[in-house]
Chains A and B, each alone.
Chain A
Amino acid sequence: MSQLGCDPQRLALLARSIATVRDEVELILRLTQIGDLAIPKVHSVLKQTLAVFERQDVRIRRVLNSAFFDMSDSYTLKFNSAAFFFTRWVDQHPEWWSDATHGEPTEIDERLSRVAEDPLESGRLIDSTKFLPPLVYGAHDPDIVRSLWLSATDPRTTSAAAAGRRITRLVETVFDGHDWRRGIAPSWVDIHEQKRIHREIRKILGEVITPWQLHFTGLASEWKWSADDGVGYLKKISESKEAASSLSSGLGSALYRNLSDLPLDDNERLQRIQFIAFAVGASTEILRGAKVRQAQLDSDHLAALLAIPTMLPLKAPWPTSLVLGKITSGLIQRLDTTNDRKVSSAIEQIQQHQALAAIGYMAVFNSALTSGRLESPLDEPPVELKLELQHTVDSLDNAASRGQALAEIHR
């Protein structure tokens, strides 16, 4: 297979030829369903022929999608030498994971640093590497691993689907079995260094998932996994104080980004707001459950977020009063039933919801402006938009009760 892989242009041509002939036979097949041309025997033979070409197409695609290639939909093929040589090197060096504990840069440090700063190359390397642990635990310098994963999942340059594929593989690699750690004498592994690397990876994981944390709960369907799985992983990740801190400080940005791009269809828009509110509730509850002081939104960070749409005249006082009303009732309810420590975390959580509801309000307002549903920020919002804004604030404040419930179930 590796020798075949060295002739990528020919593979691409073969793939294109098969696709062309398959399309042609499909067209002829359709023609034989019409009028005078409808001859059952011909139709049946063409169906058999099409099935053969489809099998061939699948076979070729399997080769093209193997670890050694990057292929776009247009069959523009590029030999992914970084992934190919990385995989080959790891195959030949089963001690790669213990090398990382020896206090000096490893071969993997060197190889990853070549692509780590480039979002496209980082993403390609990750996508083309079937065995992921070396891309997580193989480098001695965690900054290289951090750069690689942050580049490949940066929401400014990465689609939600691509980030989802990469991050779900990453969390599975970190939290599922580490069977690959074998065959090396224990004396060859520096346990302290190994612990340091593992601690650093948890921290990096927090940074990587921070902008995507809503996809672990309310927006889980966009990543084609379940919110149950997502919440479980989110809880495990938040056990690291640094990761929890990162999640907490990035929650407002994640909320703003996801609410700033809403569907045009009214129902879909309201549903997405609801999903996001649910996710915010789950995140805040998980962070509160983790009992880390970092779970509170840093006030400076929050102020910066609230300043994003400073150009917007928040003329209507109604959403604010709506939020405050909810807070008061929620707060009394919590004060009645909890001990001191829980009271403080509950207050923090409610304050978070208040702040997040304000962020959500502004994000939806901005979305209405950019989509043209509101022409000018100075205009009085139409009734539909007012209702939508109220729905946002309401959902985020109530949030998130359903998201909280899900998080509590997993406690």
Chain B
Amino acid sequence: MGTHLQLASRIQDTIDNQIRDIARLSDSDTWTGPIALISRSEIKATKLLLASCVDLLRTHHESTGL
């Protein structure tokens, strides 16, 4: 696997595991209190940013073959 794809895969893992953990821990529905420290829209924004990196890296791999 090329280095770009390896990096894309690493970022995808971050989305699938670490960001999911943060979403679970900050979910206001399951807090004992009423305040969500990190909102759902913030979680969504970070996922989108990282997903766009994955897309860019994959596109770069396909166009250059690296």
Give the B-binding residues of A (Cβ under 8 A).
1-4, 6-7, 10-11, 13-14, 17-18, 20-21, 24-25, 28, 31-32, 36-37, 39, 41-42, 45-46, 48-49, 52-53, 56, 59-60, 63
CB <8 Å contact, A36 and B3? yes
| 7 sample A-B contacts, Cβ–Cβ < 8 Å, listed by A number | A4-B35, A41-B56, A45-B56, A46-B53, A48-B49, A49-B49, A52-B46
B29 within 8 A of A: no
A interface majority secondary structure: helix
CB <8 Å contact, B31 and A60? no
CB <8 Å contact, B66 and A36? yes
B40 within 8 A of A: no
What residue of chain B has the Cβ atom nearest to residue A27's Cβ?
B10
Q: How far is the CA of A13 from the CA of B23 in the complex (A)?
A: 12
Q: How far is the CA of A52 from the CA of B19 in the complex (A)?
A: 12
- Category for how many chain B residues contact A: 20 to 34
Residue of B18, B38, B56, B66 touching A24 (CB-CB under 8 A): B18
State the Cβ distance, B57 to closest chain A Cβ, in Å: 6
Residue of B4, B35, B42, B49 touching A36 (CB-CB under 8 A): B4
CB <8 Å contact, B4 and A10? no
Q: How far is the CA of A25 from the CA of B52 in the complex (A)?
A: 14
Which A residues lie within 8 Å of B35 (CB)? 1, 3-4
Q: How far is the CA of A251 from the CA of B14 in the complex (A)?
A: 58
Known: A10-B31, A37-B4; 16 extra A-B contacts, CB below 8 A, are A4-B31, A4-B33, A4-B37, A17-B21, A24-B18, A28-B7, A28-B14, A31-B7, A32-B7, A36-B66, A39-B56, A39-B60, A49-B50, A52-B49, A56-B37, A59-B38
CB <8 Å contact, B60 and A21? no
